[in-house]
Amino acid sequence: MALKTNVRFPQRGGMPEGDPNNSHDLLTQEELEKRGILLTSLDKLFRWGTGWSLWPLQFGLACCAIEMICTTQSRFDMSRFGYEVFRNSPRQADVMIVAGTITEKMRPAVELLYHQMPEPKWVIAMGSCAISGGPFVDSYSVVAGADKVVPVDVYVPGCPPRPEALIDGMLQLKAKLLHPERQQVVRDVK
């Protein structure tokens, strides 16, 4: 369906001033939005949709998994934000919540699960074990953080984090999806 507007798309050489009374003039996007017309790119639309309905992978490793379940239960109720659709199969999920300690024995499985998820996909490292290995970092069998294995988007600190913290982590991920232009502050980690 064609949009019935009198909008001429900006030509090279700058955008002329728009006049709402003269429909033949060019309008900026903001002015269009004031008149109830939304212009967007498909990519942006998809990001907006995904950001509001992320499907996490149901995949618990340790203590944090219990708090992850609590988050979906009636008291904290993650479905208020649209994130309650936990999928058991990685093929249907787009967020992987690494909830717990990754051990050397479990590492290949975590990697496999990540690769089985379809693009685009994101990872939340929940709890200090998934961030850096936590209290178990100097153990012979523990991987020092999920980011040694898979790329991590959001880190949620705590041991285990409270359910509110996980919800905040999901909202941070949403912000990242909706505003990709915002630059992250990254510190070099050796």
Residue type, 22: N
In whole angstroms, the minimum distance from the beta carbon of 36 to other proteins comes to: 41
Which residue(s) pair with 98 in the sheet? 125
104 near other proteins, judged by CB under 8 A: yes
Pick the closer one to other proteins by CB: 7 or 144. Answer: 144
Question: Residue 71's CB: how many other CB atoms inside 10 A?
Answer: 27
Q: What is the DSSP string of 2-52?
A: -----PPPPPSS-PPPP-TT-TTS---HHHHHHTT-----HHHHHHHHHHH
Pick the closer one to other proteins by CB: 33 or 104. Answer: 104
In whole angstroms, the minimum distance from the beta carbon of 105 to other proteins comes to: 5
56 near other proteins, judged by CB under 8 A: no
Angle separating helix axes 63-72 and 163-178, nearest 10 degrees: 80
Q: Which residue of 43, 140, 185, 186 would you call a contact of other proteins, by CB under 8 A?
A: 140
The footprint of other proteins on residues 113-132 (CB under 8 A) is 113, 132
122 vs 112: CA distance, rounded Å = 15
Q: Judged by CB under 8 A, which stretch of 1-9, 15-23, 44-52, 134-142 contacts other proteins?
A: 134-142
Binding letters toward other proteins, positions 82-101, x by CB under 8 A? ------x-x---------xx
State the virtual CA torsion across 49, 46, 168, 64 in degrees, nearest 10.
Answer: 100
In whole angstroms, the minimum distance from the beta carbon of 137 to other proteins comes to: 6
Which residue(s) pair with 154 in the sheet? 124
Burial of 123 (0-12, 13-18, 19+ CB in 10 A): buried
63 vs 59: CA distance, rounded Å = 12
In whole angstroms, the minimum distance from the beta carbon of 100 to other proteins comes to: 7
In whole angstroms, the minimum distance from the beta carbon of 165 to other proteins comes to: 11
Residues that bind other proteins (CB under 8 A): 58-63, 65-67, 69-70, 73-75, 88, 90, 100-101, 103-107, 109, 113, 132-133, 135-145, 148-149, 159-160, 162, 187-190
